[in-house]
Structure 1
Amino acid sequence: MFEDQMIKVATGLAFIIPGIFILRWLLNRSTGSPEEWAEHHIRILKQKHASGEIDDETYQTRLKELREE
């Protein structure tokens, strides 16, 4: 009886643990690393500053925040 329960637990973990790693891999692949994320947003920020959507003070503040993350 105890052995049957242990087999069920082991089987469940055999599916759950790889599933977690696959899900994590898929999410990281779509979002990228934190550095890639920051660089993407810095490019957008530079475009907004160049087009005049945001002023110099806002640009500097947001740029500083992005580089600290």
Structure 2
Amino acid sequence: MRTENPDSLKWRKSSFSGGGGTGGGNCVEAAALPDGRIAIRNSKNPDDGTAYFTRTEIHAWLQGIKAGEFDDLA
């Protein structure tokens, strides 16, 4: 599967990733790729790598988050 250059993507940062408040400066960014996948990275350390997921995988993950399945990790 072809991987885009992360620097060429249009990244969107979570509104919960701000410098203050509950985000504490932890920054998560996501970008849509032309082939339909979603790229996720840490905006504070973008050179540390980018994870790529299908839309089905992202949907399942977000549903789990909304259902509280990962609350014990926070």
TM-score normalized with structure 2 length: 0.27
Higher RCO (CA-CA < 8 Å; seq separation 6+): 1
TM-score normalized with structure 1 length: 0.29
Larger Rg belongs to: 1
Pick the structure with more helix per residue.
1
